[in-house]
Amino acid sequence: MTTPPLKHDLVAEFDAGDVVVRYPRAAGEAAAAAVDVVRALWSVVEAHLGARWDGRLRLDLLAEARASGANPAAATLRHSLRGMSERSPATAGVLSYQLGQILWYASTHEADYRGPSPRSPDWLLVAALMPLTHAWSDRDTWSDHVAQHVRRAARRTPLPEAALASHGRLAPAALAQAVSQSLARGVSLQRRHPDWVRGLRAALAADPQRDGLTALHLLTGADLASWGARFEEDLAAWRSEDDEWRPGVVT
């Protein structure tokens, strides 16, 4: 009777220095190509956040078509082997968003933070990183995406602040609304402070014990209560506009 191979016998590792890829042993060429993809994406992510990546990234290529994901604390990215080979703007956007999570964590010195958890509400991080999902699409595609979310946010009753601060506890329908509200808030911030994403990241990096809302206040001169009023003003204005609304400025 033949003993089936152990799971770890079917996995190989390719060390490219800045990127270490674990992959199905039969997919060696795909592993090398994946390193090139990640390196190409990093430059866009770094420009968006105004930070450099100086560490090592581990990329786990999955034979199964499972959901992609990132562990920022471990600098690990997980993606399906097939999805990585498609080279579509959508795939590049997903990977860029996840690399953005990793770079945000590293460049803001999140591991050194000792204050109340979470350091930043989820809406703030989604608003800051969501543009990366369309970094490889044309401007009209991103504009249409923003408009869709803004219309959803304007037409539905806004979620309470607690729900926006912690997306992980929400049901799917509420999560979709939270993402739309978060992106709408990003549009509000972008209109008034065009460089707010890089500024916010820099403010967090300058003091590892500073939380996200304090950094936002320092950057913009307005606290959450003031921004809450501004968000409501923008939602009211968007409700009165037709379906042809498009963002004037995006990151």
pLDDT tens digits along 96-153: 999 999 999 999 999 999 999 999 999 999 999 999 998 888 888 888 888 999 999 9
pLDDT value for 183: 94
Structural domain that includes position 167: 117-239
Domain identity same for 92 and 129: no
pLDDT value for 162: 94
Q: What value does the CA radius of gyration of the chain take, rounded to a whole number of Å?
A: 20
Whether the per-residue pLDDT at 64 is higher than 70: the answer is yes
- Where a domain ends, among 45, 73, 107? 107
Measure the N-to-C terminal CA separation of the chain; round to a whole number of Å.
Answer: 61
- Domain total in the chain: 2
Report percent pLDDT > 90 for the chain: 65
**Does residue 2 belong to any structural domain of this protein?**
no
pLDDT value for 250: 39
Domain identity same for 103 and 141: no
pLDDT value for 24: 87
Domain identity same for 79 and 99: yes
Domain identity same for 83 and 163: no
**Does residue 144 belong to any structural domain of this protein?**
yes
Report the candidate in 154, 152, 124, 149 with the shortest Cα–Cα distance to residue 235: 154
pTM for this predicted structure: 0.89
- Where a domain ends, among 71, 89, 107? 107
Q: Which two tokens stand for residue 52?
A: 């450099």
Confidence bin at 7 (pLDDT 50/70/90): low
Give the distance from CA 209 to its chain's centroid.
22
Give the distance from CA 103 to its chain's centroid.
10
- Where a domain ends, among 79, 107, 135? 107
**Does residue 249 belong to any structural domain of this protein?**
no
pLDDT value for 3: 41
Lateral strand order in the sheet of 76-80? 11-15, 19-24, 57-62, 76-80, 69-71
**Does residue 250 belong to any structural domain of this protein?**
no
Whether the per-residue pLDDT at 245 is higher than 70: the answer is no
Domain identity same for 99 and 137: no
**Does residue 86 belong to any structural domain of this protein?**
yes
What average pLDDT does range 14-19 have in this prediction? Answer: 93
Check which CATH number belongs to the domain holding 57 and give it.
3.30.2010.30
What average pLDDT does range 8-15 have in this prediction? Answer: 78
Instruction: Mean pLDDT check: name the lowest of 36-45, 136-145, 178-187, 237-246.
Output: 237-246
Q: Model confidence over 177-197: pLDDT tens digits?
A: 999 999 999 999 999 999 999
Report percent pLDDT > 70 for the chain: 90
Domain identity same for 99 and 38: yes
Report the candidate in 107, 183, 194 with the shortest Cα–Cα distance to residue 149: 183
* Higher pLDDT pick, 14 / 86: 14
Whether the per-residue pLDDT at 237 is higher than 70: the answer is yes
Q: Model confidence over 208-217: pLDDT tens digits?
A: 999 999 999 9
Whether the per-residue pLDDT at 249 is higher than 50: the answer is no
pLDDT value for 206: 98
- CB–CB of 99/38 below 8 Å? yes
Domain identity same for 87 and 62: yes
pLDDT value for 242: 53
Whether the per-residue pLDDT at 18 is higher than 50: the answer is yes
Whether the per-residue pLDDT at 4 is higher than 50: the answer is no
Per the DSSP assignment, residues forming a β-bridge with 12 are 23
**157 three-class SS:** coil
